[in-house]
């Protein structure tokens, strides 16, 4: 008795061959010359007339023969596909992670769906925002976010100052340069907040997704190893269609 994975393996080849045979049959039926024949003989009007040999062209393609060969080719495809689809209705397996069943008796079609979705989720997790590693972050329950420790910085103000280069005399005014001095006027206390995730958390999520991806693939292989019952539907279908 064949297994489901063996049926899946041959289905593509059967489908390809049936398509090629069907295309070839269609092309043959579209050539009227291959479907036509003729037979003719010649008799002169009198015994002294010229004698000519008979001429004939045989029919090279019989439409009924094409129908029979097409039915044979497509019957194989119909039977293989039916065997696969019937088996998919019963083929099931458990999805096991860390030795514990996470999902039980999952059908093949849903396992294929899970594989696709988990691939999309892995791409989503890889793009999650990560906290700036150059900062030290702690959780803040009041905002449900991450925050840094407060950092105090000085706020300064530029205040003009005079620098007397030369004192005033009876004949000359004083020579004074103006310069600015940064004078502390206050303090900023800054805390940064972020809704991103620690790199550790992102890596943990990605590890879980990848672990489940592996488990689903194993489950699909196990389900596809189920034995199948050959289905014979092609004869019924083409017995009705071309009978």
DSSP the chain: --BHHHHHHHHHHHHHHHHHHHHHHHHHHT-HHHH--EEE----SSTTSPP---EEE-----HHHHHHHHHHHHHHHHHHHHHHHHHHHH-EEEEEETTEEEEEEEEHHHHHHHHHHHHHHHHHHHTS-B--TTS-EEEETTTTEEEEPPEEEEEEEEEEEEEEEE---SSS--EEEEEEEEEEEEEEEE--EE--B-HHHHHHHHHHHHHHHHHHHHHHHHHHTSB------HHHHHHHH--
Q: 195 in a domain, yes or no?
A: no
pLDDT above 80 for 231: yes
Q: Give the pLDDT confidence score for residue 163 in this predicted structure.
A: 80
Q: Give the pLDDT confidence score for residue 161 in this predicted structure.
A: 85
Q: 50 in a domain, yes or no?
A: yes
Q: 55 in a domain, yes or no?
A: yes
Q: Which residue has the higher pLDDT, 134 or 176?
A: 134
Of 39-53, 81-95, 158-172, 211-225, least confident by mean pLDDT is 158-172
Q: Give the pLDDT confidence score for residue 61 in this predicted structure.
A: 87
**What are 190-209's pLDDT values in tens digits?**
999 999 999 999 999 999 99
Q: Give the pLDDT confidence score for residue 79 in this predicted structure.
A: 96
Same domain for 186 and 235, yes or no, is: no
pLDDT above 80 for 174: no
Number of domains in the chain: 2
- Own/partner contacts of 154-160, CB < 8 Å, gap of 24 or more, are 154/184, 154/186, 154/187, 154/188, 155/184, 155/185, 155/186, 155/187, 155/188, 156/182, 156/183, 156/184, 156/185, 157/182, 157/183, 157/185, 158/182, 158/183, 159/183
Q: Give the pLDDT confidence score for residue 178 in this predicted structure.
A: 83
Supply the Cα-derived Rg of the chain in whole angstroms. Answer: 43
> CB–CB of 95/101 below 8 Å?
yes
Q: 44 in a domain, yes or no?
A: yes
Q: Give the pLDDT confidence score for residue 162 in this predicted structure.
A: 80
**What are 118-148's pLDDT values in tens digits?**
999 999 999 999 999 999 999 999 999 999 9
Range of the domain at 67: 1-91+228-243
Same domain for 9 and 85, yes or no, is: yes
Identify which of 95, 84, 83, 118 has the alpha carbon closest to the alpha carbon of residue 220.
95
Same domain for 233 and 160, yes or no, is: no
Q: 130 in a domain, yes or no?
A: no
Q: Which residue has the higher pLDDT, 207 or 176?
A: 207
**Beta strands 55-57 and 38-40, pairing class:** antiparallel
Same domain for 1 and 74, yes or no, is: yes
219's CB contacts (< 8 A; 6+ apart) are 93, 94, 95, 96, 103, 106, 111
Same domain for 2 and 58, yes or no, is: yes
Q: 128 in a domain, yes or no?
A: no
User: Which pLDDT band, with edges at 50, 70 and 90, does 95 fall under?
Assistant: very high
Q: 13 in a domain, yes or no?
A: yes
CA distances from 120 to 107, 108, 203 (A): 20, 19, 16
Q: 140 in a domain, yes or no?
A: no
Q: Give the pLDDT confidence score for residue 33 in this predicted structure.
A: 87
pLDDT above 90 for 171: no
pLDDT above 90 for 46: no
């Amino acid at each position: 008795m064949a297994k489901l994975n063996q049926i899946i393996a041959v289905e593509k080849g059967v489908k390809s061959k049936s398509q090629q045979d069907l295309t070839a049959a269609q092309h043959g039926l579209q050539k009227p010359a291959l479907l036509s024949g003729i037979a003719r003989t010649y008799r002169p009007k009198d015994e002294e007339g010229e004698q000519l040999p008979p001429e004939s062209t045989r029919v090279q393609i019989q439409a009924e023969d094409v129908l029979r060969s097409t039915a044979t080719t497509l019957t194989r495809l119909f039977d293989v596909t039916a065997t696969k689809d019937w088996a998919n209705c019963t083929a099931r397996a458990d999805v096991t992670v860390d030795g514990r069943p996470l999902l039980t008796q999952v059908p093949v079609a849903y396992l294929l769906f899970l594989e696709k979705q988990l691939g999309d989720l892995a791409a989503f997790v890889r793009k999650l925002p990560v906290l700036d590693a150059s900062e030290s972050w702690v959780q803040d329950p009041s905002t449900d976010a991450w925050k840094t420790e407060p950092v105090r910085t000085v706020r300064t103000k530029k205040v003009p100052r005079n620098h007397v280069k030369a004192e005033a005399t009876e004949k000359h005014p004083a020579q004074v340069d103006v310069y600015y001095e940064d004078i502390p006027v206050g303090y900023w206390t800054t805390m940064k907040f972020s809704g991103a995730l620690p790199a550790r958390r992102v890596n943990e999520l990605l590890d879980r997704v990848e672990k489940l991806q592996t488990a689903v693939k194993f489950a699909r292989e196990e389900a596809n190893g189920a034995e199948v019952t050959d289905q014979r539907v092609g004869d019924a279908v083409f017995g009705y269609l071309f009978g």
